[in-house]
Amino acid sequence: MRALGLFGLIVALQVWATVVASHEPLQFLAGALFLVAVVMSFRSTLTGLVFIIISQLYLLQGTAEVNAGELAYAAVFISTLLGWALRDGRTSEGNRLLRSPVGASLLVFLALCVSSLVLVALYGGSAMWWLRDLVRFSYLLLFFPVAGAVKSRRHAFIVLGCLAAVILYHGVLTIAGYAQAVASTEALWQLRYQRLALHEIFAMATLVASFAAFLRARTRAVSVAALVLGLIGLIALGVSFTRGYWMAAGLACTLVAVMLRGPVRRIAAFWLVLLVVIVSGGITIFSAKFIGILISMADRLSTFTSPLRVLSVQERMAETRAALDMIRSSPVFGRGLGAEVSYMSPLQHHVVTGSFVHNAYLFIWLKLGLIGLVSFLIFYVQGVRMAVRAAARSASPLARALLVSCVAVLIAAVPLSFTSPQFYDKSSALVLALMLGLSYASVHGRLDGAREDATPVPGAVNER
């Protein structure tokens, strides 16, 4: 542990020295603030979580190379995890978390991810792409500090508030980008080629959680907030033109209505209000183009009846065949994180090479083999079971509604992952880790009462 702490300190000093060497006052100030953030993250796990989640406003945009911002984030991330492990991880409660079915299975899976570097060397893969894939899965480690540091409703509200800020930012960014693209079109047929797929899991989770909260809202403020958030989520999901997420959101909302036994009037009111606002606002803003947008969405949805004729589906099939060919060469152990797939693209008409595979199951199978895939599925199933128990035991109607929405999203992600990068996409892994962490805190009775932060948590129910 001391060696890990020294490593984190060295990384922090290296980043700070790089900033100082530029002799720029603003960058020097940024470096000083970065060091403060690293120290605060180590001393307070909750503070570190706030820094990590809010930083996704920048990091989820993605970069082609490692930059100073990503190094700074890595230092804060490591400092938060290290601080929790040294301070709380060695306590009886910390040991219980690490040895829980979800915690233990997650550690096994991540150990396989790290050890796959041997396969990368064996097959001549890229160490940089191995690191990139490892960073994707490292977001799942946030499960431990969330599950360990959230000890009251106030802590849960802080974490959810930070996540809501990130989700709203990317949602509004998606909607604004699409509106700007539509404004530049001159003909209605051009609307078919306007889409903006950006972190669709955020829009889907927002819509499902808002629907669940509306069904169990007891005050007008909660109802209005649920409608506003649901509206943003629905619009952002719609303009993504991602059919898989459309179907997954529909499945998740259906599960929410069934599990919460939502009153028909409130279900109808939620969707009717969103429909009226969207139609009236769309006609006001886009005029005749709004009809074209609806027609484009209907055309996109109608391709489910003849998927093999769609170029994007042919692209996925070519990618899948190439991935399966590589899996056959090493089906048990895989080829290591960072393994690249090459195939002839029906869309681009040339050979495409990359480490990205849309089918999440094939992605894990290709990289980590059947052992890694089974390991991850064990972790995921244990997480769903824990979320179900959390929803069943929650005493608060609103908390239970949000936990039910977590269960619905987790279940809907299972079929969705055959065509979309769930589990390993950064935004999806972030949402998954936070949902499971809050579910663990709820199962252990931390969200049922307004406990003070300093009040020790009573004996928790053993989730095993």
The string of pLDDT tens digits covering residues 117-147 is 999 988 888 888 898 889 889 999 999 999 9
Q: Which helix or strand (DSSP H or E) is residue 218 part of?
A: none
Domain assignment of residue 110, yes or no: no
The total number of structural domains that make up the chain = 2
Domain end position, chosen among 264, 284, 307: 307
Let me know whether 169 and 256 are in one domain.
yes
Domain assignment of residue 391, yes or no: no
Let me know whether 79 and 195 are in one domain.
no
Is the pLDDT at 348 greater than 60? The verdict is: yes
Query: CB count, 10 Å around CB of 42?
Result: 24
Let me know whether 168 and 63 are in one domain.
no
Amino acid identity of residue 297, one-letter, is M
Domain assignment of residue 287, yes or no: yes
Domain assignment of residue 341, yes or no: no
Amino acid identity of residue 169, one-letter, is Y
Give the pair of three-digit tokens for residue 169.
Answer: 């930012």
pLDDT in tens, 54-79: 888 877 665 556 677 778 888 889 99
Let me know whether 174 and 79 are in one domain.
no
Quote the domain boundaries for residue 169: 159-307
Exposure string for 255-267, b = 16+ CB within 10 A, e = fewer: bbbebbebeeebb
Domain assignment of residue 175, yes or no: yes
Domain assignment of residue 165, yes or no: yes
Query: CB count, 10 Å around CB of 18?
Result: 14
Domain end position, chosen among 70, 90, 110: 90
3-state SS assignment for residue 66: coil
Cα gap 90→367, rounded to integer Å: 32
- Lowest average pLDDT, out of 3-12, 89-98, 184-193, 228-237, goes to 3-12
Let me know whether 73 and 175 are in one domain.
no
Please name which of 395, 401, 406 lies closest in space to residue 438, comparing C-alpha atoms: 406
Cα gap 148→440, rounded to integer Å: 9
Let me know whether 70 and 200 are in one domain.
no
Give the pLDDT confidence score for residue 267 in this predicted structure.
94
Domain assignment of residue 101, yes or no: no
Cα gap 106→87, rounded to integer Å: 21
Phi-psi region of 213 (alpha: psi -120 to 50; beta: other; left: phi over 0): alpha
Give the pair of three-digit tokens for residue 64.
Answer: 């082609």
Let me know whether 77 and 174 are in one domain.
no
Is the pLDDT at 372 greater than 80? The verdict is: yes
pLDDT-derived band of residue 294, with 50, 70 and 90 as boundaries? confident
pLDDT-derived band of residue 458, with 50, 70 and 90 as boundaries? very low
Domain end position, chosen among 258, 292, 307: 307
pTM score over 0.75? yes
Domain assignment of residue 53, yes or no: yes
Q: Which residue has the tokens 């290296």?
A: 14
Could you please report the per-residue DSSP string of 177-195?
Answer: HHHHHHHT--SGGGGGG--
Q: What is the mean pLDDT of residues 315-342?
A: 89
Let me know whether 57 and 165 are in one domain.
no
Cα gap 134→421, rounded to integer Å: 15
Let me know whether 51 and 166 are in one domain.
no
Beta-strand relationship, 341-344 and 351-354: antiparallel
